[in-house]
Amino acid sequence: MVGAVIVIYLAYKCGKVQFDFAVFFLALGLVVGIYYGFYFIGNSDTVDVSKILSPVVAYLLGVLLVNTFETYEKSVKLVYASMSIPMAVYALSSAIYCVMNTREGTILGNIIDNPDLMNRRLVEVMFFMITASLIWAVMTFKNNKFVSCLIIIANVLVQIASIRIHTRYNTYFFVLEIFALLIIWTYTVIKTKCNTIISTIVTIVLSVMLILILTMVYRVNLGGLRNIYYNSFWGADGGILHSYKYQNIGEAVRNLFTENNRKGFYINANGINTSYNLWLDYARDYGMYSFGLIYIFKILTVIYTFRMIINKNVSSEIKYLLVPAFLAFNIFYSTEAISKVQIYTWIWGLIISGMIRTCCLQKKVKE
């Protein structure tokens, strides 16, 4: 309710709010899901206004908060910091609590006293915005030395905490960001000697060659690296390439094309009734109609992100900050059941998507 009041105030302050098809499909999909689930499927526990209001308010907050301060860059940075710092502090303190109480690799803390906030996956997702800001820290180091150093140190601490409590996403994202930074650095160096087209082609070729080399190292099990990976907690459930979660996702996708898809369905793979995918779990619970509308919203957020990337009026600094965060959250939503069970994990990604929506419409920027 507080968020709704803030949205109304920010909309009044802005004076003019542009219609957004994304929030229309999001709200419609949630309303259809809750209504259909209650009246036709019989899910009496779905009648909860917060399940409709919270995601919509979160997205609108992201859209409107970008125009709060004198420049959109300042607004994005302040909103990003106000979200990431408290999340990371809580997650790190939870990880320390876990280690001090010898609970590495288990559910953090006392599951009876605090069943939600000490969940290992929840702690992991709270680190995302710090991990996602690494590219920004490196690429803007000259202008933000102190803040960049803090972010780099924080990323090291996040990796240590992730290893101690046996979580994997932040480590995967960290590796991907290092790879992305290597590509950006390669392109920048080559561009000083060649034109843009040649620089782009050479960078792509070198990137593909690096991927092929890493693939060969994996395939031939050079130095026993593949065995080390699968014998560690990173590869405990099949790792990235052979995770059992793909079986659940595959069954959920197949259920979308059955005759009773409008009534929802049950997932039998691995004896777990979840697709490990936020959007497919909406189809499981509320049927095809709700899923279709909400998935249109997802597609639109991806389009907005692409528009922001190609928009020359949006500063590179903002792109370095928002795009990695958007990708991190959406990968998590696509492969973890908790994103549907604990709806507030979706809130953070929706705020990021809302900020991207406003940024992609920028016409002028002060570099």
Tell me the whole-structure pTM to 2 decimals.
Answer: 0.86
pLDDT per residue as tens digits for the range 245-273:
888 888 888 888 887 777 778 888 888 88
Q: At what angle do helices 288-310 and 316-335 cross, to 10 degrees?
A: 160
d(CA 340, CA 333): 8
> Is the pLDDT higher at 181 or at 258?
181
Query: For the residues 211-230, what does the mean pLDDT come to?
Result: 80
Query: What is the pLDDT, as a whole number, of residue 316?
Result: 87
Residue 16 has pLDDT above 80, yes or no: no
Q: At what angle do helices 72-100 and 145-164 cross, to 10 degrees?
A: 30
Residue 154 has pLDDT above 60, yes or no: yes
What distances in angstroms separate CA 317 from CA 71, 74, 143, 362, one per listed residue? 13, 11, 11, 14
Query: What is the pLDDT, as a whole number, of residue 302?
Result: 94
> Is the pLDDT higher at 317 or at 223?
317
pLDDT band at residue 91 under the 50/70/90 scheme: confident
d(CA 37, CA 238): 34
d(CA 104, CA 163): 9
Residue 366 has pLDDT above 70, yes or no: no
Amino acid at site 109: G
Query: For the residues 107-132, what does the mean pLDDT come to?
Result: 66
Tokens 């409107």 belong to 64
Query: For the residues 122-151, what does the mean pLDDT come to?
Result: 89
Query: What is the pLDDT, as a whole number, of residue 168?
Result: 83
